[in-house]
Chain A
């Protein structure tokens, strides 16, 4: 240690200096208080032995000044005095001295006091170093949070959440949230939404959910179903995250054309479907393990689907909402949340929910991230709305002839493929890559999916749309469909053909769909349009509206649609 000896007596300086040198320390000297302060500033000693009675400036004054100068850094000062009085001791301690000894100097006492100071300094230095390390970690953690938060924001594409069809609320506990909400429309106008909750909260939870948005947006853009998207997310997350990390997620698809709500819920609280009066009509409870736990081959992508009518809403939230605790630890609970929807006008439910949480938690921070989504099915535009709208009643502006060399794609699917594969996303992806504009893409999606579904459901599976009517009709239809698909005969086939024909004057896409079934009577829809439009035939009459030409063969198992690009 470098030890400053401030004493006006040359003898004392010599005695103490020798002693300290013998102890292995490095003594430096000052002859009065003022000099002591100067030497302190210049040499920054580790410890000071300070005489009280000195000329120019006494030890008490110098001690006060040194203590004021050395804020934050411990430099122990031991008072050395001949005045063995209590007043002197008190004055010294009040001036900031840490200990004292009296003259005449007794060597063992000085040695012991210096050793005690050394111990105090070592503890202090250790704490200082740890504090510095902590500060460094803290700074780094803050910086990591900032970067993660930035990446999260970019990846979730918040502008896509600006959609009149739903409201959302995300209240993170830390700078970056482990809760994630993403939403996008498929080319067919179906709203896809995901509400995900990574293990824990803060940085690691945010890291967990980072891979999700990209999968979600890329697959929604080419019309993959939410079940398939969930399966893809599971495979990716399982491969990326450590065993003890996973993501609770709810994926929701709201199809305004078919008036269906589809839900896949793995590990999140029950997703509620409410009718126009705010009454609970369906509970989509968690039926699956969260994402990232099961091996891909064990993953269950099955969803539940319900029909909606006017005024229906879908409510989904992370467990941070019902678990939000008040000062005495009582949770908000599901009943209180549900009653908000029963008692409040649809437009002000979210605001009411926020007030409820603020009041319950007394505006203090919750221990987990909160995220809530309310989907208003009434606010999703249907295809019927779009085609009746003057802007959409004519074709979108003609495409520059990037497709003009002409191409043809033919697909033939057997029973085995039809059971596991949805070919539409592949076709949409192809069209997208061939620079077909979004406006055309959504028309083409409607046409292709309608033709494909008709061929599969009515042509091969021989399902009658009339089953959909009446109590539980829709559910019965879906059950029967799943059953017949599983039993589909091995020689069943479905052909899809796409041919682009282009010249300087036109650019066409011909779509041919043929199934090996007996043919379904599309003419029923033609003859009884007014009835059919209302019920099951809406799809094909819409196809007729947006395509240039729709031609069925005689038996009705093959259709060719011509569409101008």
Chain B
């Protein structure tokens, strides 16, 4: 999976591309941890438009991100979810934790 970040105002957009599964653990964690440390950031948006696949360990990584974000008072939104990604997030009812669109 490829992970890129873009900083704009108080928002950091993390764009994911490819298969979001356990093999993405290190690269994803590295990127979001760095993002959460950026001063004055209030929002993190995870752009899922180019994610082909998402498994339960990816859901686990989202929970890690959420915990890190909460500790820094940062809001996390999951945006541009393709249908298959949306389906998995819905089954897990992640809408109760994240803003998903």
> Interface residues, chain A, CB within 8 Å of chain B?
197, 199-200, 243-246, 248, 266-269, 285-290, 293-294, 319, 368
Chain A to chain B: the 7 pairs with minimum beta-carbon distance, closest first: A244-B60, A199-B56, A267-B92, A244-B64, A289-B93, A286-B91, A200-B57
**B91–A267 touching, CB < 8 Å:** yes
Set of chain B residues within 8 Å of A245, measured between Cβ atoms: 60
Let me know if B24 is at the binding interface, CB within 8 A: no
- A243-B71 Cα distance, complex, nearest whole Å: 13
Set of chain B residues within 8 Å of A285, measured between Cβ atoms: 91
Let me know if B97 is at the binding interface, CB within 8 A: yes
Q: With contacts A200-B56, A244-B57, A246-B63 known, what are 15 further pairs, Cβ within 8 A? A: A243-B60, A244-B61, A246-B59, A246-B60, A266-B93, A267-B91, A267-B92, A267-B93, A286-B90, A286-B92, A289-B92, A289-B94, A293-B63, A293-B97, A319-B91
- A290-B55 Cα distance, complex, nearest whole Å: 14
Query: A242: shortest Cβ distance to chain B, in Å?
Result: 8
Set of chain A residues within 8 Å of B22, measured between Cβ atoms: 200
Let me know if B67 is at the binding interface, CB within 8 A: yes
CB-contacts of B84-99 with A (<8 A): 90-94, 96-97
Closest to A368 in B: B55
Query: B68: shortest Cβ distance to chain A, in Å?
Result: 9
**A248–B92 touching, CB < 8 Å:** yes
Ordered by A's residue number, 27 sampled pairs between the chains whose C-beta atoms are within 8 Å are A197-B56, A199-B56, A199-B57, A199-B59, A200-B22, A200-B55, A200-B56, A200-B57, A200-B60, A243-B64, A244-B60, A244-B61, A244-B64, A245-B60, A246-B63, A248-B56, A248-B91, A248-B92, A266-B93, A267-B93, A285-B91, A286-B91, A289-B97, A290-B92, A293-B63, A294-B96, A319-B91
Please report whether the interface of chain B is mostly helix, strand, loop or mixed according to DSSP.
Answer: helix
Set of chain A residues within 8 Å of B61, measured between Cβ atoms: 244
> Interface residues, chain B, CB within 8 Å of chain A?
22, 55-57, 59-61, 63-64, 67, 90-94, 96-97
With contacts A199-B57, A200-B56 known, is A243 near B63, CB below 8 A? yes
Closest to A245 in B: B60
| Pick from B55, B90, B91: contact of A268, CB under 8 Å | B91
Q: Max chain B CB contacts within 10 Å: which of A245, A286, A293? A: A293
Closest to B92 in A: A267
Set of chain B residues within 8 Å of A266, measured between Cβ atoms: 93
Q: Max chain B CB contacts within 10 Å: which of A244, A285, A287, A293? A: A244
- A17-B33 Cα distance, complex, nearest whole Å: 59
Closest to A200 in B: B57
Query: A55: shortest Cβ distance to chain B, in Å?
Result: 61
Set of chain B residues within 8 Å of A319, measured between Cβ atoms: 91
Query: B26: shortest Cβ distance to chain A, in Å?
Result: 13
Set of chain B residues within 8 Å of A288, measured between Cβ atoms: 93
Query: B20: shortest Cβ distance to chain A, in Å?
Result: 13
Query: B51: shortest Cβ distance to chain A, in Å?
Result: 15
Closest to A269 in B: B91
